[in-house]
Chains A and B, each alone.
Chain A
Amino acid sequence: MLVTLAACALAQDPRQIVQEAQRRAYAKSQRYEGNLKVIGASERVTEKRWQYDRIGSFGDSKTVLRFIDPPEVKGVALLVINYKNRASDQWMWTPALQRERRIALQDRSTRFFGTDFSFEDLEEREAEHFDFRLLGEEKLDGHDCWKLESRPRPTRTSQYTRSHLWIRKDVHAYVRVDAFQKDTLFRRILYRDLQELEGIWTARQIEVFDAKRNSRTVLKLDKVDYNIAVKEEDFTLQALRRGL
């Protein structure tokens, strides 16, 4: 009983809620194929497909996103190297130019290759760089959730002034993020079709809504694998150049 009460008390600490969600999502590596549908304001749909590879623990990981479809963008790739103590490094490789381009911090608010993800959305955000506040509890899609507010600390550059996070109480998984610029909703991310895969609660569908453009991107995750054998050397600039 005492243990349960202590756990409940700890769970009310918003930082610990976020850290627990990050801990439960831990995997040594991850791979999936993402099918993206970008639905513009005119309801016109553009489809893309990428392969996602990731290695390392949350906030200290490396990620490679490589477009595999449509043919026009096949081979375009993004390398993200996350650091615990500073903003990530990001490089984009364009095969037609045979050159990589470092994505500057001030450019991270721009959209990533025609999707509604910004470059900033593709990096991992260590809880230490944010202040959290518990706003309350809400029911989303029939599940009890904590509703938190996060604000980037002064050491952290972000396009978002603050964000509201909804985390499911039963499995400590994100279900929704509303990101604001001052008091205006800028981007909404919905995590849907949560499934437990290899012990990790995984959203098989992520929907990003860009409120300014009235555009949304639906990312469906296929062929999801955790803790597969990948090598550090596949997450370098050289590796970025190697792939088609």
Chain B
Amino acid sequence: MILFLLLCLVAPAAAQRFSHRGFFETRSFLYPQTVPNDRAHFVGEALLRWEASYKLTAGWQLNGAFDGRTDTHHQVERDFRLDWQDRTLQQPALSARRFSAAWHRGRFSAEFGKQFIRWGKADILNPTDRFAPRDYINVASNDFLGVLGARVIYEGDKDSLDLVAVPRFTPARTPLLDQRWVAVPEPLSQVPLHDLGARFPGRAQFGVRWNRTLPTVEYALVFFDGFHYLPLIEARPVIDPVAIEIQRYYPQLRLYGGDIAVPLRWFTVKAEAAWFGSKTSTADEYCLYVIQLERTAGEWFFIGGYSGEAVTLRRNTLDFAPDRGLARAFLGRAGYTIDPRRSFAVETVVRQDGDGLLVKGEYSQQYGRHWRITASFHWIAGELTDFLGQYRRNSFGLITLRYSF
């Protein structure tokens, strides 16, 4: 809040050092089918996002980003308090998305506070992206959340070293139990689900990434010690009255991984892999990997690849794991820029056993300097036992109208 006020106050006083941008966006979801726990066909959302930075000195800079949002479906809280923790079940109506102080000198830079940290090179799945929880209120249309921590980077000519410490855990936001992105089987649809909240880990998380950039190859190694931001789920039946109590908890995670990008004559090969080990007795241990080819040709871009999973220790726990849900799948994305204002893109995810399918199509057009309208559809099909297939009644159309400023 203090940072917010500071950024607002300094804006007119020091235009040279102050920079900002933002947008107001409305999103209209149309679901042709209902599901047992959600009868809504239409969901409307509105989001105001403002991002600002202010250069205090040659070496120091303040960054802030703030969201204000509301919706028609009670995915967003109705309290008007400023949230900075991103731990609530619903999305906060007002939130500090980012607030940090950044410093740089020579080859060193650092950032302290709530920030975005993105690791990995692949586009279709990032197993090494450990400090980037997402908001999965809508599983098929999600956004990144910031994490509260400290990051120090050394950047040499070829090598860079990235050290991160996150004292306070930020979980991914999971879908709401009474809404369609929690797929409840028909026989259980009459049983009330009681959300008992989450048990958050107390200790800090650490990560280190070393990256080397050479003319013909770029690669990185990653180590992470902390907790998975995607939860395991404890479900307890209650007899009187009949209900199921649900609580989320976050398994300890030690991860070793790496990524590589090799530009070849006709396309670039990118690969990323990580082994997820855990001391939590109920958590699986597994390796997630992805290999993709990408190419830009004229106005087209193409990305295609395979994401795989190898389970080294299976414990059959109930979980919410979109990352593993997109593994063992073939993924493809293609886009075409019609002209500087218009573009379209298609994306497909097919599970290798054929049990899940997602097809996305999107057309986007800019009007004037500020407006953009995007029309898209998500078609989901498959078996109830599959991560994607469980959402087969959640296919939707989406119209997004954005005013950027």
Contacts and interface: CB of A to CB of B under 8 A. Distances in A.
B138 interface: no
Nearest to A104: B263
B341 interface: yes
B247 interface: no
Contacts of A202: none
Nearest to A108: B296
B155 A38 contact: no
Contacts of B295: 106-107
Contacts, number: 94
B105 A46 contact: no
30 contacts: A46-B339, A46-B340, A46-B341, A69-B369, A70-B370, A71-B21, A71-B22, A71-B370, A71-B405, A72-B369, A72-B404, A87-B215, A89-B215, A98-B118, A98-B144, A99-B118, A102-B261, A102-B263, A106-B268, A107-B268, A107-B296, A111-B299, A114-B339, A233-B104, A236-B107, A238-B153, A238-B155, A242-B61, A244-B20, A244-B51
B126 to A, nearest CB: 9
A102 B218 contact: yes
Contacts of A114: 337, 339-340
Contacts of A99: 118
B223 to A, nearest CB: 20
B289 to A, nearest CB: 19
B320 interface: no
A192 interface: no
Contacts of B339: 40, 44, 46, 114
Interface of B: 19-23, 51-53, 61, 102, 104-107, 109, 116, 118, 144, 153, 155, 160, 213, 215, 218, 261, 263-268, 295-299, 337, 339-341, 366, 369-370, 372, 402, 404-405
A239 B268 CA distance: 25
Contacts of B155: 236-238
Given A98-B144, A99-B118, A238-B153, A106 B266 contact: yes
Interface in A197-243: 233, 236-239, 242-243
Interface of A: 38, 40, 44, 46-47, 69-72, 74-75, 86-87, 89, 95, 97-99, 102, 104-107, 110-111, 114-115, 233, 236-239, 242-244
A40 B20 CA distance: 30
B298 A74 contact: no
A105 B264 CA distance: 8
A89 B51 CA distance: 29
B266 A244 contact: no
Given A44-B339, A71-B405, 4 more contacts: A46-B341, A70-B369, A106-B265, A110-B298
B321 to A, nearest CB: 22
Contacts of B263: 102, 104-106
A67 to B, nearest CB: 10
Contacts of B261: 102
A89 B298 CA distance: 20
A38 B340 contact: yes
Contact of A71 (B23, B106, B265, B340): B23
Contacts of A242: 61, 102, 104, 109
Contact of B296 (A98, A102, A110): A110
A236 B213 CA distance: 13
The interface centre, meaning the residue of A97, A106, A237 with most chain B CB atoms within 10 A of its CB, is A106
Nearest to A241: B109
B104 A71 contact: no
B405 A106 contact: no
A104 B21 contact: no
Given A104-B268, A238-B155, A242-B104, A72 B144 contact: no
B107 to A, nearest CB: 7
B158 to A, nearest CB: 11
The interface centre, meaning the residue of A69, A105, A111, A236 with most chain B CB atoms within 10 A of its CB, is A236
Nearest to B296: A107
A238 B109 contact: yes
Nearest to A69: B369
Closest 4 CB pairs of A and B: A114-B340, A104-B263, A71-B404, A107-B296
B275 to A, nearest CB: 23
A40 B109 CA distance: 41
Contacts of A107: 268, 295-296
Contacts of B104: 233, 238-239, 242
